[in-house]
A and B are shown apart, each in its own frame.
Chain A
């Protein structure tokens, strides 16, 4: 794999001595390419023969306290507007790369846009925002999960610090499960400098059951998650 642009290699310390201490107790050399003897297959594929992938996604999202609003490309900005009703522009942060002109116009008019040139100010804005809007790269039907590849001008904080996380999900990006997502990510390993530094699988709002095993929704991350599912074909 090629390194990222201008990247300095990191140091590796004490590896040789560390490994030499037990090298004689494990296998030597490069292992042969391994194939799992048993290939586990999720039941999700059977389910997808009977139900549409978006229905399965929405059903599973509901169980993890994420509300899904369905719309189409045409009406997307109206839906976003209704979610953001009565929330001022400086309370809404977005980090979206899109060639949908209408959406681009709306975000520039109604939201503060994540702007790498502004550096750490972006994080401060995120911490003070009520709503963070992101555009997902992949979504998983099996678990109602959205996948955000945080790279370049897609900030990690947008989906994390605001109280409400709104995710735009193009229907075409829903895949059955984790397996397909890993394949997509793995595909980018080979595309040299484009391997994302951070990939987040996000499944609903943050939660905890650390006090008496009572589920509390909303701990460190967002208190609320809204999925906007867009029919993009």
Chain B
């Protein structure tokens, strides 16, 4: 199966290892991964700040880039959600309505794609230790991908998943919120890292680099000995070809 990867700007610039794991994982699962270079950003930072016009400029670039894709897969629930919204955003735009809708329909968050398109719910991988899963808000509530990552993680060998107190609460990232409302964001992430500390785990696993950058940044400031991992990295670990 041919899969077109949307790496997201955070992965491209800061978390190349997440991108690499995603590619390796998809290849091991039998996909052929395609990566059009025209891709940049889904437009969410501008869109969620109210700059619809500027965001649309970025969105059009992405629509063009992914015109030929069969499936667009991305290791981010939040960016997948943004792409799924394109259809609504361009609904009244004669020139872009059909193309944007087509992109919305063929876009999948990584774990959603693995479980619901590839039909795989168990991937032979190993990670020794205890972990909590951070449920990202956009992915869980708005994209509706809730059980897929948990299902995949439950089948990772030697990994013990533990509950996280107030797991449903946002970590305080919120894109530009984290710099526009830095003080509030700080309090929110501190409550999250306290819950993580209380859970007494080796890893925090998530499926969105924005949240992980936020939580990881705070854990590092607190010098907490907890490793932050993207689910693609976990599923790609110890997985034989």
Q: CB atoms of A and B under 8 A apart anywhere in the complex?
A: no
Binding site for A on B (CB under 8 A): none
Binding site for B on A (CB under 8 A): none
